[in-house]
Amino acid sequence: MTQTASPNSQALPPIAAESLPPTTEGTMVGNGLALILRLARRRWVALAAAASFAVLAVIFELVPYLAVYRIAAEVFSAAPEPEAIVRFALLALGAVVLQFVCIGISNTVAHAAAFRLLREVRTELTEKMARLPLGFFDRHDSGELKKALVEDVGSLEGVLAHNIPDVASGILVPLAAGIALFWVDWRMALASLALLPVGIAAQMWAFRGMDGQYRLWHRTEAQANAGVLEYLRGIAVLKAFNRTASSLERVRSAIYGVRDVATAMTRRSMYSYSLFFIALSTNLLVVLPVGIALHLHGGLGLPQLCLFLVLGVGLTAPLTKLMFVFGSTSRTILGAGRIQGILDAPPLPQTPGPVQPTDFGVRFEDVHFSYDGNKSALREISFIAAAGQVTALVGPSGAGKSTVAKLIARFWDVDKGRIEVGGVDVRAFGLEELMGHIGFVFQEVFLFHDSVRENIRLGRGGASDAEVEAAAEAANAHTFIQALPDGYDTMLGDRGARLSGGEKQRLAIARAILKNAPILLLDEATAFADPENELAIQQALADLTRGKTVIVIAHRLASIADADHIVVLNSGTVEDQGPHGALLARCATYRKLWATQQQAAGWTLTTATGEDAHAG
Ligand SMILES: Nc1ncnc2c1ncn2[C@@H]1O[C@H](COP(=O)(O)OP(=O)(O)OP(=O)(O)O)[C@@H](O)[C@H]1O
């Protein structure tokens, strides 16, 4: 492999670890509003249709009131006409039916549009997350991201599907009814609106400073989500130590935090909300005495009085809908801001266009890397893993072995220096192209809730069943898979069959065999295996690694003693490198690791009486 920098790899954009999404609370509101407007624009035809039907429903809602007024006028007239009364009654009935039809259409159209938008946002989010550097997930814990993906997206449905009809009716009913009432008798119309200023003042009082409360509520809820997820993930450990969720401070304080914020919000708004509701629903206290006085002394007719008692009393009640709309929209806007923050996060910089690596050797050149921008995890790392050879990374725990392996696959980008594959900087590859060249067998094998077959097929989408089975056979996994209840169709994951650590690793090897990438990263592939499993795994690995550039992280030096090249890492730097014999002769750390392992190999667990319990 070439040692010189390739022209392909010049002037590459550094990954901006610090320029993760702006999560300042001011920008969240702007971002949230922008997202909601963008979504509404995307389905504006459906949403406008839903709003139009909601408006029609409002118009039909008013008709029965006017019909009652006309019926009353007819009843109190000198010569009431029975046909006219029946006609108005039928008109009222027809309007009620049409109102229901319009509400039904409006709801259906709005919900269909909203759920399509929700699906699109969730797809955008998951696709975006797949392109983000892993550093992003270090800074945003899974509870926060789950809240954005599940709850925050879910709450957009409320704004898109419910708030449109609610705003339409909340504004239009009082407006249209108000105009009609002013036309009938302006004095009574004013009486009907007398308590409205009190309601508005109460509303303003309720919302003062509520922004901060909503933000706090979002933050606390995200923390509770994170705490509960952590609890569920660690439930086996908690059970082993006989601990409960309440003994985990993070879970406990997060759950209590949600309660405290919700209680504080309720306390804070209790009086203003009560005043708002009372002001908007007790019109009768003004309308009735004013109506009676005007009937007796002001020339207000009985039909008009009836109309105001029916319509004027309820004139301001629909405004309560608006209050809920504003309340829920403020919360949703902040959630939408969080979603937009993820969508705006800078993905790993990609350089378009295929590149031409000379081979599949890997070269580290003065690589520096830090996870958090402060504490350095790797310094001045330089080594070559030659094409087609086995290079082992060894060193004490925390030395940086896994970090080195993950940087090759661009889980993160280096802060300084460069990593090349076949003479090309890894940042110059398209991400998919780079991933196509690298296979992994990591210590933790993640199995999806899917069949064994599909879990193996993850190695290469589109592989045939025969290819999947051939890979399983090469990975020494075929026999145990066939013994599973449904063979290759056995479901894995939560409710499916449980596999041993060694079996899971053989599935991971089968995935890697199926992928058949020229570079292979192996992370302690035999850590969990018992002797029988280990033999099966070693055989499978021999098959997998033939002719590939293998970079193996191994704690058990015996298994890599005949590796082509061994890199000894210590505290994030390369302490020495070379073949086993040379390192044993000159590298103190390697010698110490080797000696420790030789001792461990002869390790024996003894009982109190000194008898051997188990030979290691
Ligand atoms: N996701 C992470 N965020 C922050 N620091 C990390 C992260 N992963 C590892 N580190 C730190 O980086 C350093 C190197 O860790 P790394 O996992 O690469 O070591 P290792 O040699 O593979 O250790 P082990 O053999 O115990 O797995 C350690 O100090 C570790 O605490």
Task: Find the 362 Cα to ligand 1 centroid distance in Å.
Answer: 21
Question: Which of 48-57, 212-221, 418-427 is predicted most confidently?
Answer: 418-427
Q: In the numeric block, which tokens belong to residue 384?
A: 């070559």
3-state secondary structure 132-172: CCHHHHHHCCHHHHHHHHHHHHHHHHHHHHHHHHHHHHHHH
Mutate to test the pocket of ligand 1, among 141, 393, 402, 574 (most ligand atoms within 8 A of CB): 402
Predicted local distance difference test score (pLDDT) of residue 14: 34
Report, as an integer, the average pLDDT of 481-503: 79
Q: What is the 3-state secondary structure (H, E, C) of 359-373?
A: CCCEEEEEEEEECCC
User: Which residue of 134, 141, 142, 371 sits with most ligand 1 atoms within 8 Å of its CB, as the best mutation to test the pocket?
Assistant: 371
Among 142-156, 210-224, 398-412, the range scoring the smallest mean pLDDT is 210-224
Q: What is the pLDDT of residue 524?
A: 65
Is the pLDDT at 19 greater than 50? The verdict is no
CB 140 within 8 A of CB 222: no
CA 506 to chain CA mean position, Å: 31
Alpha carbons within 13 A on the beta-carbon side of 304: 21
Residue 78, pLDDT score? 80
Query: Residue 23 and residue 337: Cα distance in Å, rounded?
Result: 8
The pLDDT of residue 22 is above 60:
no
Contact residues of ligand 1, CB 6 A cut-off = 138, 371, 377, 395, 397-403
Residue 148's region, left for phi above 0, alpha for psi from -120 to 50, else beta, is alpha
3-state secondary structure 113-141: HHHHHHHHHHHHHHHHHHHCCHHHHHHCC
**pLDDT digits 0-9 by tens, 413-422:** 899 999 999 9
Q: Nearest C-alpha to atom 8 of ligand 1 is from which residue?
A: 403
Residue with the larger pLDDT of the pair 239 and 83: 83
CB 361 within 8 A of CB 384: yes
Which H or E run includes 518?
none
pLDDT at residue 223, rounded to an integer: 80
Arithmetic mean of pLDDT, 277-285: 82
Domains along the sequence of the chain with CATH: 25-195+282-344 (1.20.1560.10), 362-602 (3.40.50.300)
Listed as own residue / partner, the contacts of 497-500 with beta carbons closer than 8 Å and 24 or more positions apart are 499/447, 500/528, 500/533
What single-letter amino acid sits at 91?
L
Counting residues of the chain whose pLDDT is more than 90, the rounded percentage is 22
Confidence at residue 441, expressed as pLDDT on a 0 to 100 scale: 83
Name the residue at shortest CA distance from atom 24 of ligand 1: 397
- Say how many Å lie between the CA of residue 398 and the centre of ligand 1: 5
Q: Where are the alpha helices (DSSP H) in 24-81?
A: 25-42, 44-75
- Asked if pLDDT for residue 393 goes beyond 90, the answer is yes
Question: Which pLDDT score, from 0 to 100, does residue 21 have?
Answer: 43
Nearest CA, atom 29, ligand 1: 398
Query: What CA–CA distance (Å, rounded) separates 119 from 505?
Result: 34
pLDDT for 1: 36
Ligand 1 atom with the smallest distance to the CA of 553 is 22
Pairwise CA distance, residues 215 & 220, whole Å: 9
pTM (predicted TM-score): 0.63
Beta bridge partners, 534, equal none
Mean pLDDT of the chain: 81
